[in-house]
Each structure stands twice: as structure tokens, then as C-alpha cells.
Structure 1
Amino acid sequence: MSTSSKRASCQAVYYWFRNDLRLHDHPALTAAIQRASQLQVPFIPVYCFDPRYFGSEAYSEYGSWKCSPRRAQFVLESVSDLQQRLINAGSNLVVVTRQTPEDYFAADTTSHYSKALLYYQEEVCREERMIAKKVAQHFDRQNVQAIWGSTLYELSELPYYDAPETMPDTFTPFRNKVEKKCVIPKPLHAPTKLPPFPADVKTQPASKLTLVDIGYQGLLGKLPHDPRGVMEFFGGESAGLARVKEYIWTKDLLRHYFDTRNGMLGADYSSKFAPWLAHGCISPRFVAQQCQRYEQERVENKSTYWLIFELLWRDFFKFFAWKHGDTLFQPGGTIQSTKRWKTFEKSLQAWKDGKTGYPLVDANMRELNATGFMSNRGRQNVCSFLCLELMQDWRLGADYFESTLLDYDVYSNWGNWCSGAGMTGGRINRFNIVKQSKDYDQHGEYVKHWLPELKDIPANLVHEPWKMTQFQQTEYNCRLGVDYPHPIVKPFDATPKQGPDGTGGRANGQKGKLDTHNPNRSRGQRRDMKSLNKGSYRVEG
């Protein structure tokens, strides 16, 4: 068929953005652009603020907002940046508010382009696939292309691609086989010149939209940054790429990542790439390429590999969801456990509010509520506490994180919670909260930062305030049950079966030198994953 006859059968190419808000290294977007250029037809990028996810009336089945205003603001900033970058390349972005994607495409394909192609990034969870199916109904079946993205490794290159059931349910064997057999594709360049954007298609400047415009009642202005937070996160590809450059190159922090990654205070103990990765503002393959370049130009060590190791965890959970489907969201998890979970609202609310009486848990939850961010160490502890101490339904924790996290993505969030609750078949890590507190916040700087009512309590009591006498409570200006709550559950008792490290029985603690790069760590703290050998990865090109 000639180009002219193909053009007659296709009037336009749409690209539907979701959690892939960037131009660089974007396989699905690149394919759409190439097709529009080949056919010489208009190219129409679209983003919809779907009212099922955004706004004061968008609730989950558990009663939380689907998307908190703070994360919605990050998405607004990301969409605004995406629109400007598209304009700079000669195109634009249709920004749709208070309308579902399927309703928008139904109206637009009827009024403008009845014969059009649709491209979008493929997702594997039920909600995302269900909406994609509704959108695709407004196009001829052969004109819809869903293309894989957002992972280091290509799905079709996995050694498990033809037999998903053979994929391991634990990370280490998955990692070993994938690193041995697979190569990370070379990142694609961002387009510099795009096909024309049709003059008769209406859009609006995303930079002028407020939270009210996308459904959040009463929120007219921008939410202020809480100065107690680790850093101010600004959404968008431009800000994400700037953070990658700052962390890896300008501040030269990658060489220390392994030693500092368990911190909890400050901007630079970890990369903080997560919010931009979650919304697709930066590509994991681009980050891997930068790490490989850093190893070639500056230094190669366990820290430079460890950032790739963490990105591979993201891959694992997306592929894990691809394998298991809806069982990831069921109370018994992927192992279909019959364990009965509690749903005691008072305890759940205390956990959400940061009023459990356990300073490390409370400080992390208050940080989450104020900023939308929580360290990886904090996430593991608050998950363990809710599921394994309070015995609350783990899905309520996953749901609350879905609502509040800036860096929420369905795979990492629900996969980590399901695993943390022991519902994936892997090792169950029941954390001793007090020991974790002393290991990772030795002098109590973190808990005092977020719990000012504990500011006068000395380090030997700040993680166990329930041990204070009445005299000490008066001396340190913190009355239990008045200024700070009593523990809502009996403090952890590390039995021999559980092991002295309080993480389920493998007492692999190792005494060593104090990590100079992380002052929060104590001398007796085990060096997490120290015995795990540095892996290997390869980026094409």
C-alpha cells in the first residue's frame, strides 16, 4: 500500500500519556512519532486528569483518596513540563480535566479523526488494563499499539517471557538469571522535531491549572513545601534530569550510595529519584546508562552497582505483577494464604496519624503525611509494624501509601506491601522497631526532628519513652498519655526463634567500623546486604 493510500486510511496518530511523562527514552512515544512522520499525518499527544484518580471525590475501595493533593500537584507540574517540552519540539499536549480518557477519545475521534491510530505504554494491572480496553474500543483494533516501557529490561527478552509461571517469586534468583542472560537496551534520544499539531484541536496551558481545576475542592493555590522535608520535589522531566545530574555528577554522591542509603535525614543520603521514576519523568535505562558512564569515567564499586540493584527491584515487582495478576491485591496475596487479618480502626488511625507510641513509626508516618515522602528504611519498619505487630490487613497500609506517596507506583507499592506482610512466599522480616531505631537513628536526631514533643528526652530513652519514670517525664517535658501516647501494642520481644536482630530469625549481625558517611548508624549495626556479592549489568552501546 502506498503512503498516500495509508494516509487516507489514517487521519492522525494519538499518543496517550499516563505514568510515562517524558520525551527521552520512550519506546511507545518514539514509535508513535515515527508512524505519524511516515504517514505524514497530525500527531496528537494527550494527557487526561482522570476523575477516577484525581479530585476530592476519587476514593479507593478502602476509603482513601486515590491520589492525595500533594501527589496531584507533582503530576500537575510534570504535565506542565511535558507540555512545554513538546511545544519546544514543535508540538503540543492536549490536557483534559474532569473527563475520563475513554470519554475524551470517544468525542474527539467522532468530531475530528474517525480513522486514527492510538499508541500508549503497556501496563499489566487490572485497573490500568481495564481503562485501556475502554479507550481502545473507540479505535479499530488493528490501529491500537500498546508498547512496553518503564523497566530496565525488556519484557520480551526475559528468560521467563514464554512461560511466566517459571519466573521466581523471590528476588535473588530472578536477579541472578536476568543479569546473566539479559542486556539493558540503550536509551533512546528525546525527539527534537515532532510532526505538526493540528490547529483545530483545542488544548489548555497546564501551567495555569490549579488543584481545583482537576477536582480538589478548596485548594486554589500551590501546596507549600514543608521545610522539615528531605528536599523539595518538583515534578517533571526537567527537574528529574536535573536531580540525576546533581546526584551522580555535580555532587559526586554515587560512589557512596551503598553506605548512605539507609539514612533518614537530608536530601543526599539516597538518590531521591523515586518520584520522577514513578511518574515516568525519568527513564531507569537512562539512569543505568549514567551509572555505567560514571563507572567508566570516575569509579566503579559496590555503590555504583547498588543503584542498579535498586532499579532492578522495580523491574522485579512489575514483572511479578505481570505473572500473578489480581492475586497481588488479595488478602492472602500471591500464596493465597488463609491468614485472618484484623481491621481495628482505632489502631489503623493511630498508625496513619503517627500516634502509635513508637517514635520511629510515628516520625516516619508524620513525615509521609507532611511531605509525601518516606525513606526506604522507614517504609520497611512501618509496614512490619502495621502487619506483624498490629496484625492489620496489609492492604489498608498499601492503600494509604497509594494515596499519600509522591512516588506511588502500583507495582512497587503493592508488591512491597504484599511481601512485607509475608504473602508472597519469601522470607518474613518482622522488624524489632526499638532495635531498628537505635541502629538507624542512634542519637535520636530523626525522631526528634519529626516529634518535637520528644526533643528533650536523652538518646538512651528517646526510642523507648515508655521506660521513663514519672520524674523523668516531668524533667524532659513529655508526659506519656498527654504529650506523647503510650504504646498501642506491647513492645517487641525478640525471642530466640526470631533472632536477636528481630528480623525473623537470621541473626547475621556483624560488628564493624562506624560508617563515616552515615552518622545515623550505630557501631553495633549490621551492614545490610554486606555479604551479597556485587552483581553485573550491561547497557547496550
Structure 2
Amino acid sequence: MVQKEVNCLFTKNTLPFQINALPSTFSQFRKKVENIAIDINLNHLDSLPPMPSEIDVSSLKMATLPLNQTKKTLLFKGGEQAALKHCQTYFETTYPSRYKETRNALDGFDNSTKFSPWLALGCISPTMIYAMLKQYEKINGANESTYWIYFELLWREYFYWYARRYQNALFHFGGIRNNPPLTSFYAQRFQQWKHGQTPFPIVNACMHQLNQTGYMSNRGRQLVASCLVHELNLDWRYGAAYFETQLIDYDVASNWGNWQYLAGVGADPRGSRRFNLDKQTQVYDPDLKFISQWHGECKNSQIDFQDYVDWPITSVTNKGDT
């Protein structure tokens, strides 16, 4: 029996194009695939393959997390059973019917699906989630929000095939078109960004959230990426690499594909995405609750304390200086 691929919705045979002819934008991809029937008949496994003979199971020990990583285990419990329980619980609520209205919230566990950690680790397949979504729509009715859950699964799917198509170019500074952006690397700026000590409170709050929980909302990821590329003029790959070390739902294709998209070297036909951070704060945190909760205010913060050769910069000129 031919085993179905379980980490994607489609296969090379069901895609209406060859991988090397992957559409250059997500919109083009979506229009070609969103109406393709997805086989939700999952193969039943009667047995698992034997353990490789080279591995001595008796010598294996349970891995332990460093003390500074323990908080990142509180939001999510690993494994297939936990994944199934979470997804079933989610679809037993009315949250899917208002997902599009809440998905951009910066915080709140129930405002988005939170499927990504289990998808990233292969604890559940996108096909299983799609089957649960279809069952939910059958019982509760379909609307724009339930479609948007599928829409987000298609974004993940696009980046999966994007990585298969472009391979090493996923990590190139110039992206898939070999067109390097006008950014550089400033060590101090990068440290400020990592530790949430920039002049931008909403970015600081998002980075504190990431560092403490291993998770950040989709909206937050866009804002901190825009800040790194446009406000701090840093090489986008450092941001992508830092996300790789921190995200509990790290997925190589989605992470690096999205960073390319924000940096203007990937699948976005309009070039890089720059967000007005003040406006975004007014829209998504008008009462500054999120910023307050995650201590986003950083007094006396400025972008540079040293110049490009690490000489100190001060904003006050000493008397007698010329």
C-alpha cells in the first residue's frame, strides 16, 4: 500500500503543476488549489516499523529542559494525544465561527487556533485538521471565519512547497530572486531587538512574550520582523535564525518563507512589508494592555549607543567639544 504524505494537504501528483512551476505568489497558488478535493481518508496503521537495531533503548534517558526554558512548556503539551485533544476541544467551541475576527489579537490563547506547535512537530497532520474543520462546518455551518482556517492551512501548504521548490535559496540573503535588500548588521541593534529593548514598545512586548513563552501571535511576528528590517535596518536572516531558536512552533518552511516575504526577497509581489508601529499599536493595543502586561516600555531607549565601529555615541555634547 502506498503511504500518503502526512505533513501536507496535497501531493506532487495532486498538485495541478510541477514543483518547479510553483506559482510565484500565494494568491496564484491558492486560486489553483483551493477547490481541489482533499482525501481525508487516513490510512489505518496496524503496526509500526521495528526500532533500528543500532539504537539501544535501555540507554536512552529522558531529556530535561534548562531552567530558563521551563516556562515554554506551560502553554502546550507535546504528543499526538495532546494534539488531538486540543483540536477536538477547539472544534467543540464556537471559536472557529469567529476566527477571522479574533486571529489578529496579540494575546489570548483562544483568539487563534494554536494548531501550529503540533503541526510543526508532526503530532497531527493538516489533513486531520481539515477533516475536523469540514465536520465542524457540516454541523455548525460554514462562514468566512471557517474558510479562513482553511486559508491559513493553505498558507502553510504554500510555504511547504515553496521550500521544496527553492531549497537552499530559502536561506539566501537575496532570497529566491537573488536581490539582496539594503540592510546590514549592527550587533547592538540586534541585541536590543532580541531582548525587547528598542524604542518601540509594541515590539518590545512581543519579544518579551516570545522569550518567555516560545510563542508569538501572527500579527506580532509581522510587526517585529518589520521593525528588524525597516526600523533597525538589519539583515532579515538574523531575525529568522533567532525565531528558529525560540519558537515552540518553529517550522523551517513557514519561518524562513515568511521572513523572506516580510523582507521583500520572497513571494510578495509588492516588495517588503513595512508596518507603521504607532498605527498598529492604536489598532491592536489601543489601551496599551498588551504592552503593559509584557513590559514593552523601555525608558531612554535609542537605536544606537555605538557607531558602526563600536565607538560610543551620546546624545549630549560635552562643554568644550567641537
Q: Shared topology, TM-score over 0.5?
A: yes
Shift of 1:202: 3.4
1:199 CA displacement: 12
Choose the corresponding residue for 1:393, options 212, 235, 253: 235
Of residues 177, 202, 217, the one that matches 1:335 is: 177
Given that 1:328 and 1:414 are in contact with CA atoms closer than 8 Å, whether structure 2 keeps it comes out as yes
CA distance in 1, matches of 2:223, 2:27: 21
Q: Distance in 2 between matches of 1:198 and 1:342?
A: 47
CA distance in 1: counterparts of 2:142 and 2:114, whole angstroms: 21
Partner of 1:152: 9
Q: Pick the structure with more helix per residue.
A: 2
1:237-276 alignment to 2 at 5 Å?
237-249=80-92, 251-276=93-118
Q: Is 1:379 paired with 2:221? A: yes
Render the CA deviation track for 1:39-78: whole Å, top value 9, x for unaligned: xxxxxxxxxxxxxxxxxxxxxxxxxxxxxxxxxxxxxxxx
Tell me how far apart the structure 2 counterparts of residues 389 and 303 of structure 1 sit (CA, whole Å). Answer: 33
* Among candidates 420, 425, 436, match of residue 280 of structure 2: 436
* 1:294–1:199 distance in 2 versus 1, CA, 3 Å: closer
Q: 1:338 to 1:298 in 2, by over 3 A?
A: closer
Other structure's SS at 1:156 match? coil
CA distance in 2, matches of 1:339, 1:441: 30
- 2:301 corresponds in structure 1 to 486
**Residues 419 and 426 in structure 1, CA contact (< 8 A), matched pair in contact too:** no
Identity %: 38
1:286 aligns with 2:128: yes
1:297 is paired with a residue whose SS is helix
d(CA) in 2 for partners of 1:353, 1:237: 33
CA spacing shift, 1:316–1:236, aligned 2, 3 Å: same
For the 8 Å contact 2:6–2:127, the answer to whether it is kept is no
Q: Is contact 1:153–1:183 with CA below 8 Å preserved after alignment?
A: no
Classify the secondary structure of the residue corresponding to 2:101. helix
CA distance in 2, matches of 1:429, 1:359: 19
Alpha-carbon deviation of 1:156?
Answer: 2.0
Question: Partner letter of residue 179 of structure 1?
Answer: E
- Which among 235, 238, 242 is matched to residue 78 of structure 2? 235
How far apart are residue 205 of structure 1 and its match?
A: 8.7
Q: CA deviation at 1:169?
A: 1.4
Distance 1:422 1:199 in 2: 44
Task: Assess, with a 3 A threshold, how the Cα gap between structure 1 residues 172 and 160 changes in structure 2: closer, same or farther.
Answer: same
Counterparts of 1:70-81 in structure 2, within 5 Å, are: none
Q: Superposed, which structure 2 residues align to 1:85-484 within 5 Å? A: 148-161=5-18, 164-180=19-35, 182-191=36-45, 193-194=46-47, 197=50, 202-204=56-58, 209-211=62-64, 219=66, 223-225=69-71, 232-249=75-92, 251-424=93-266, 425-427=268-270, 428-451=272-295, 454=297, 484=299
Kindly indicate whether structure 1 or structure 2 has the higher relative contact order, using CA contacts under 8 Å at least 6 residues apart.
Answer: 2
Cα displacement string for residues 472-504 of structure 1 (whole angstroms, at most 9, x for unaligned residues): xxxxxxxxxxx6242428xxxxxxxxxxxxxxx
Residue correspondences, number: 301
Cα contact 2:210–2:247 (8 A) shared by 1? yes
Aligned-residue Cα RMSD (Å) equals: 2.5
Amino acid aligned to 2:286: Q
Q: Deviations over 1:281-309 (max 9, x none)?
A: 01100111111111111121011111110
From the superposition, tell whether residues 484 and 309 of structure 1 become closer, same or farther in structure 2 (CA, over 3 Å): same
**Structure 1 segment 4-23 matched on structure 2, within 5 A:** none
Q: Distance in 2 between matches of 1:272 and 1:391?
A: 31
Larger Rg: 1
Cα deviation, residue 232, structure 1: 1.5
Aligned equivalents of 1:441, 1:290: Cα separation in 2: 32
**Contact 2:6-2:126 within 8 A present in 1 as well:** no
Q: Distance in 1 between matches of 2:168 and 2:56?
A: 38
Q: Which amino acid aligns with 1:194?
A: S
Q: Which residue of 2 aligns with 1:58?
A: none
Is the alpha carbon distance of 1:254 and 1:197 closer, same or farther for their aligned partners in structure 2, counting shifts above 3 Å?
same
Instruction: Show CA shifts across 1:404-450 (max 9, x none).
Output: 10011110000000110000252232100110011011111111110
Q: What runs of 5+ residues in structure 1 fail to find an aligned partner?
A: 1-26, 32-146, 213-218, 455-482, 490-541
Q: CA deviation at 1:339?
A: 3.2
When the two structures are superposed, what TM-score results if normalisation uses the length of structure 1?
A: 0.52
Q: Distance in 1 between matches of 2:153 and 2:34?
A: 12
- Give the letter for the 1:444 counterpart: L
Partners of 1:355 and 1:485 within 8 A in 2: no
Does structure 1 retain, via aligned residues, the 8 Å contact 2:107–2:290?
Answer: yes
Q: Matched residues in 1 for 2:70 and 2:48: separation? A: 38
Native 8 Å contact 1:277 1:284 kept in 2: yes
Contact persistence 2:102–2:112 (CA under 8 A): yes
The residue type paired with residue 362 of structure 1 is N
Contact 2:170 2:256 in 1 (8 A): yes
Distance 2:48 2:156 in 1: 33
